[in-house]
Each structure stands twice: as C-alpha cells, then as structure tokens.
Amino acid sequence: MRFAVESWLIGENQSISTVKPYSIHNKITRANARLMFESLMEWVRFADRPGTVIVLDAERLSVARRPDDGLVFYTKAQLLDAYEVLRQFIDGTARLSGCLLVVFPAIEFLDTEPASRGMGAYDALKFRVYDEIHDQRLANPMGALVRLSAQGAVQ
C-alpha cells in the first residue's frame, strides 16, 4: 500500500483513486503546490530531520531566444510565472522552517531594465532582492540574500 503513495508522489501513478484510502483527495496543482510543499517541509521537521536544502539552477530562465538544443525554453509569460514563484518563496520564508533554497541565476538576472529577462521584468521580485544600499563597504543588515562573486568574495 505504501507503494501507491510513493508512486503518486513521484508522478508514476496520477490516479487519485489509488491514494484516496490515505486521505488524499486532490491532485497537486498550481493552486495548491506551494501549500503542499510547505506541508512537506513541516513533515520533514516533524520526522526529526534537520531540514532540506534545495538547489535551483535558474540560469535557463535568461535565455531570450528558443535555442535548437532540445532543452526547456521559457517564454516571457513562463519567465514571469517562475519569478512569481520565487517571490512567493521569499514572502513565505517564515512558513518554511528548516528549508534552505539556493537559487543560481545567470548574471543577466541582475538586469533591472523592465524589458529584460532579469529581475527588472518583474517588479515584485525586484523589490525583494534588489540591493537598496549600493555602498560596497557597508553591509546591509536587512538584506536577505548573499551574493558570491566568481572569486568567492561576498558582495
């Protein structure tokens, strides 16, 4: 029986009827996925685990034209959806105890122009991650992000 839940969680079996005996009555959709994820992070802590580290390679989001390489291409609408998800994770940090989300964007992400594929394309995300203090000699005690340069020094 445990196999039914495991196969449903990893997407092998998408039938809800096989997992209804475990009080699962809805599919995971765009509308409820983040809540399910928050619940999973809570369960990880409840299971006496220290937490979860998630590494997200977001470099592909910066590709502006569909390359002929067979990999995923993000349209402008999909890019904005991805930025919305990142913004929601930032806003929901209090509900993700024990979760470290590390995002590796391309350098183009730092572009603040609205017409770009960088953070400037989505103001709600930009306002949460853009440095408001630009003095490199002063640390921003309110900054939630750590940026590492190619040399490994904190910026």
Note whether 61 and 117 are within 8 A (CB): yes
Q: Where are the domains of the chain?
A: 1-31, 34-155
pLDDT tens digits for range 106-134: 989 988 888 899 999 998 888 888 765 55
The reported pLDDT for the residue numbered 6 is: 85
**Beta bridge mates, 101:** 54
**Beta bridge mates, 103:** 56
**Residue 83, class by beta-carbon neighbours within 10 Å (0-12 exposed, 13-18 middle, 19+ buried)?**
buried
Q: Dihedral, CA atoms, 33, 39, 40, 44, nearest 10 degrees?
A: 160
pLDDT tens digits for range 72-94: 899 999 999 999 999 998 888 88
Give this prediction's pTM. Answer: 0.73
